[in-house]
Structure 1
Amino acid sequence: MIKAKVMNSILGGGSTARLFMNLREGHGYTYGAYSSISPDKLVGSFNANAKVRNEVTDSAVTEFLVELNRMINEKVTEEDLQGVKNYMTGTFAYTLQNPQTIASFAINTKKYNLPADYYANYLKNVAAVTIEDVQEMAKKYITPNNAIILVVGDKAAVSEKLTKFSLTKEVNFYDTYGNDYVEALKPAPAGMTAEMVLEKFVESKYGLKRGKELDKKLSKIKDVTVKMTASIQGQSINVTRYQKAPNKFAMTITMGTMVVQKQSFNGTIGKESGMQGTKNMEGDELADMKTSSVLHGDVNFDKDGSKYNLLGVESLDGKDAYKIEITKANGNKESEWYDVATNLQVKAMQVKDAGEEAGGAITIVSTFADYKVVNGINYAHRIVQSFGPQTLDMVVGSIEVNTKLGDDIFE
C-alpha cells in the first residue's frame, strides 16, 4: 500500500501534484484537482476529482485522462519521487507527536491485518520505493478505460460534450438518489412565454398590472425593512434586510449582539464584511448587487438586459411551476420557478464563485413560501436557502415600511 500512496501523491496528493499543476496552474479550470486511493478488504477505490465551470467540463475530463494515462505510460522523474518521499517522511514523523496517532496505528494494524512491524518499518519502506514501483502501481490501480466518469452540473450545458468519452456515445442521467433520471419538465401551454409568466407574477405580488397605477403605488414606498429569524446548523440567528429607494440595500446577519456578516450597497459601492474583514465588491458581483438592490426592481424585469426563456412546467412538492431560464447581460445563467396557480415565485437557483478558500463555485437554491400581504404587497414569509452543505431557514417576523432609514445603514 505504501507504493500506491507514493504513486497517488505524485499524481494528485496536493498542490504540487500533477493534476493540480495541470488543471489549475496550466489551464485555470479549477481551484484544485486531487486524487485518492482507498484500500479496503472487499472493495478498494481510486478517485480523481475537481470542481470546474460548466463550460470547461469536457476539457477538464480530457486533462484528467491525460494525466492518468501519463502515470501509466511514463516513468516519473527522480526529482518528483524524492520530493514525495521527503514529504511523506516529514509528515509521518510529525504525526508521531500526537498520542492518537499511536492508537490509530494499533487499530489499523488489527483492522487491516497488517504486519506487526508495518509502522516500525514505514520510513524504511517509503525510502525503498523506486520509479519502477510507482509505474507498476499506476498500471495496477489506474484503469482509465474502465473509469466511471461522474459529472454533477447543468445537464443542458455539459451532456452533449461528454458523449465523446463514452464507448456507446451515450450519457446516462441519474437523480440525487442514484435512480435513473426521468425528465421532470412538461411542455408549457401553447402561446405562454416567460415574459407572460413574469407579468402575471408582478400582478399577483403587487396587486396591479405593470403601468402608471402600479408606479404611483410603489412611489409612495420609500424604504422597506424585513426582519427574520433563522437557524443554521442548530444556531439561532437574526437576518435583517434593508432597502431604500431608488437602489440602496443592506443585509445583516447577527448572533446575539455580534454582527456575523453584512452586505451593503450605497448606490455606487458594494461591500461585504464578516469575521475575516471587509472587502469591496467588484466585477460581476458588484453588477449583480447593483441590479438586485433596486427597490421593487422585479417590476422592471425587462430593463436590465436579461433574456428570459420558458423551459416548461415542473412539479415542485406536488404543485406545477413554470421554470424560467434567465441569461444575465454578462452571460451568467440562473433559474426561477413560478407557481402556475398563484403566479408567485416559489424557487430560484444560481451558481456563484465563492472563492478559492470556499472551494470555488457553489450552487445556491432558495425556496419561497407562506406568502402574506403587507401594505398591499405579497411577501414570502418563509425563505429557505441552501448553499453547499449548509441550509439557512428564515422566517419573517415583521415587514416595516417607510421608517425613514438613514443612509449610514448602507455604508
Structure 2
Amino acid sequence: GGGSSSRLFMNLREDKGYTYGAYSSLAADKLVGQFSANASVRTDVTDSAVVEFIYEINKLVDEGVTQEELEKAKASLAGSFGRSLESPATIANFALNIERYGLPKDYYETYLQKMNALTVEDINQTAKNLINPDNLYITAVGNASEIKDKLAQFGEVIMYDNMGFPAKEMAAVDADMTVEKVIDNYIEAIGGKSAASAIKAAKVTMVAEIMGQQLTIEQVFDNANMRYMQNTLVGGNVMQSSVIKDGKGLVKVRGQSMDMTDEQMDASKMETYYLPELYYGTMGYTLKLDGIKDVEGTPAYKVIVTTPLGATVSNYYSVESGLKIKNENPVSGDTFYTDYQEKNGVMIPMAMTIKSAMIPVPLEAKVTNLELNPVLTEEDFN
C-alpha cells in the first residue's frame, strides 16, 4: 500500500478502476500497533472494493512477498530514512523513541544495516504472526441506504451518525409520501404559499461569538431580481463578502476580489433566495427523497437538492411539524434551524447552529434584525 506500484494501488486503481488511489500504513507502538488500509471509491463499488482489500490482505498473509518486492521496499525505505535526517525534529524524535521504548543506543545508527539484513522469510513470518484478517474492522463512510445491505456479507453492520454516535433506525417512508409532498408540507407549515410568496425581499442580521469575538453575518435577499449579498464581520471589520447579481458572482476576502466560476455560481444560487423552497421548480433543481433520518432525536425527511451542474445540498424537514430543521452543505457545513417565530404571517427560524470544519466549535447565531420586503437599492449589493 505504499505507493503507485503497490498491490492495493495496482488492484483497485489500475485493474478495477474503483478509485484514484488505494493505500495502507503501519503505526508502531509499544502497546498496540495498527495496520490500516483505505481508499475513496464510488458508492456502487463499495462492497467490491472491500472484497479486494480483504483479498490482498489474505494474500499477503498466505503467500507472503517476493524477493523483488522486498528489494523495492528496502530501497524506498532507505531513501525516505535518509531524507528524514534533514529535519531536526526527526533527530529529536529518534532520541525520544530510544528513551521511551528502551531501544539500543545505536538503534538508528544501525537502522539501515538491520533493515537490509531482513529476508523474505523474516517478512513473511512476521505477516503471519501479526496480521489476522479475521480481526479486521471495516469502516465505510457514505450513503447508508445504498451500501448497508451490500456490506452485510462481511459481518454485522453497525451504523453511526456523522458525529460518531450510534445512528437511530428510522421508520420507513410511507408509500404515498413524495418529495413534492414534503416541500408542500414545509410551505404549509411556515404559513402557506400565499404568505410565503408575498416575501419578495429580506434583510437579515445574525450575531454570534467565536473565540471571544463577535461575529456578524449580514444578508440581503432580492428574490424578484435574483440578487444576493452577504458580509461576514469579525469585531466590526468585514472579513469576507459575496455578491450575486446580473447573473454573476463576486467574492471578496480581506480586500481581494475574485469572480465566481460557473460551478461556484451554480452552487451559490441555492443561497440566493429567501425561502428557496418556493423557487426549486423554476430553478430547474432535481429533488430526491432519501428516507427518514434522525436529526438529534427528531425524525426528519431528508431531501437531496441537486443543481443543473451537479452541486448538491441536503435539507431535513421534521416529520411531525414539517419545518426545515437542518441543512447540509458540503462547502459551508451543517446548519440547524430553531426558534421559529411568526413574522408577516410566516414562520421564520430566529436561531441557527452552524457546524463546519472551518470553525473549531459550533457557531450559535441569533437573528438580531429582520426586515421583510424592505426597499432595496443598488447600494445594498455593492
Q: TM-score, normalised by structure 1?
A: 0.72
CA–CA distance in structure 2, aligned partners of residues 125 and 258 of structure 1: 59
Among candidates 32, 42, 66, match of residue 43 of structure 1: 32
After TM superposition, list the pairs within 5 Å mapping 1:216-295 onto structure 2.
217-218=198-199, 221=200, 223-232=201-210, 236-245=214-223, 246-256=225-235, 258-274=237-253, 280-282=259-261, 284-295=263-274
Tell me by how many angstroms 1:118 deviates: 1.8
**Matched residue pairs, number?**
370
Structure 1 unaligned residues grouped into runs of 5+? 1-10, 355-362
Closer/same/farther in 2, CA of residues 74 and 105 from structure 1, 3 Å limit: closer
CA–CA distance in structure 2, aligned partners of residues 293 and 311 of structure 1: 27
- Which moved further from structure 2: 172-181 or 242-251? 172-181
CA–CA distance in structure 2, aligned partners of residues 69 and 107 of structure 1: 35
Among candidates 347, 355, 373, match of residue 386 of structure 1: 355
The answer on 1:347 being equivalent to 2:326 is yes
Partner of 2:141: 152
Partner of 1:409: 381
Partner of 2:233, secondary structure, is strand
Tell me by how many angstroms 1:154 deviates: 1.4
Partner of 2:86: 94
CA–CA distance in structure 1, aligned partners of residues 255 and 59 of structure 2: 41
CA–CA distance in structure 2, aligned partners of residues 82 and 276 of structure 1: 49
Q: Is the 8 A contact 1:325 1:333 kept in 2?
A: no
CA–CA distance in structure 1, aligned partners of residues 336 and 229 of structure 2: 21
CA–CA distance in structure 1, aligned partners of residues 13 and 54 of structure 2: 15
Q: Is the 8 A contact 2:151 2:157 kept in 1?
A: no
Corresponding letter in the other structure for 1:89: G
CA–CA distance in structure 2, aligned partners of residues 148 and 77 of structure 1: 27
CA–CA distance in structure 2, aligned partners of residues 59 and 157 of structure 1: 13
Closer/same/farther in 2, CA of residues 191 and 28 from structure 1, 3 Å limit: closer
Partner of 2:145, secondary structure, is helix
Partner of 1:229, secondary structure, is strand
> Percent of aligned pairs with the same residue?
27
After TM superposition, list the pairs within 5 Å mapping 1:1-400 onto structure 2.
11-12=1-2, 27=17, 29=19, 33-62=22-51, 64-65=53-54, 68=57, 73-75=64-66, 76=69, 78-91=71-84, 93-95=85-87, 97-98=88-89, 101-102=91-92, 104-126=93-115, 128=117, 137-164=126-153, 166=154, 170-175=155-160, 182-183=168-169, 185-187=170-172, 191-205=176-190, 207=191, 209-211=192-194, 215=197, 217-218=198-199, 221=200, 223-232=201-210, 236-245=214-223, 246-256=225-235, 258-274=237-253, 280-282=259-261, 284-303=263-282, 304-309=284-289, 311-312=291-292, 316=295, 320-326=298-304, 328=306, 334-350=313-329, 352=330, 364-388=333-357, 390=359, 391-400=362-371
Corresponding letter in the other structure for 1:198: I
Tell me by how many angstroms 1:47 deviates: 1.3
Alpha-carbon RMSD: 4.0
Q: Is the 8 A contact 1:266 1:407 kept in 2?
A: no
Tell me by how many angstroms 1:79 deviates: 4.5
Corresponding letter in the other structure for 2:35: F
Q: Is the 8 A contact 2:353 2:365 kept in 1?
A: yes
Partner of 1:404, secondary structure, is coil
Tell me by how many angstroms 1:155 deviates: 0.6
Closer/same/farther in 2, CA of residues 48 and 288 from structure 1, 3 Å limit: same
- Which moved further from structure 2: 171-180 or 248-257? 171-180
Structure 2 unaligned residues grouped into runs of 5+? none
